Structure 1
């Protein structure tokens, strides 16, 4: 069931699924005004959800990077067991984080050139 909030002239200005003091009028979802309001709410909600997922994706990527570092440090996996593309991506992100943070975290010195099989990088 949908309930509408109406303005002083009786026009529907918002809808909700719960009845309250503001949302008193029972309305049908196929009413053109109600359908438009529901579509706007869905679009706004979908945009917010996508923004939350995008933010969460970058945070999750950092968690996965830290997990790979931890597993390699504990020698549960070898860094070189990862596909070459994954190794390069992880190393480049580590380098960018080090530069961005102003430190040398993740920076590769001249004597530590990346070569497959060099487990000392992580």
Structure 2
């Protein structure tokens, strides 16, 4: 969702992804004036801006996918073991690291000797 900032004449002069006092009007990204503003924002610093945006969104998307996989597993729509072994290892190691980082690792593996699978491959 995008929110627009209006000038005194009611014209859209800027957009933001979060609503605030200044950015109060909900707008569609395909609206012509909004599309022009977005195009200017994205092409202002060309590759630097877009590469940074991609990098940031990759991290966010990874977390969304982790949460989605957890939800689907909890609802028994998929089984974690149905995922490829490499995917399981990556998800488990990210979950462990996040737990350690957040000091909420009670339910996670904390013994460093347990961080390898039967093949001897490290989870991290």
**Residue of structure 1 in register with 2:83 after alignment:** 82
1:70 and 1:97, CA in 2 relative to 1: closer, same or farther beyond 3 A? same
TM-score, reference length from structure 1: 0.53
Q: CA RMSD in A?
A: 2.7
The aligned length equals: 75
Alignment partners' CA distance in 2, 1:79 and 1:114:
18
User: Shift of the alpha carbon at 1:66?
Assistant: 0.3
**Residue of structure 1 in register with 2:50 after alignment:** 49
Asked if 1:108 corresponds to 2:109, the answer is yes
Give 1 or 2 for the bigger CA radius of gyration.
1
**Can you give the 5+ residue segments of structure 2 that lack an aligned partner in the other structure?**
1-41, 119-124
TM-score, reference length from structure 2: 0.52
Asked if 1:58 corresponds to 2:80, the answer is no
Higher relative contact order (CA 8 A, sep 6+): 1
**Residue of structure 1 in register with 2:95 after alignment:** 94
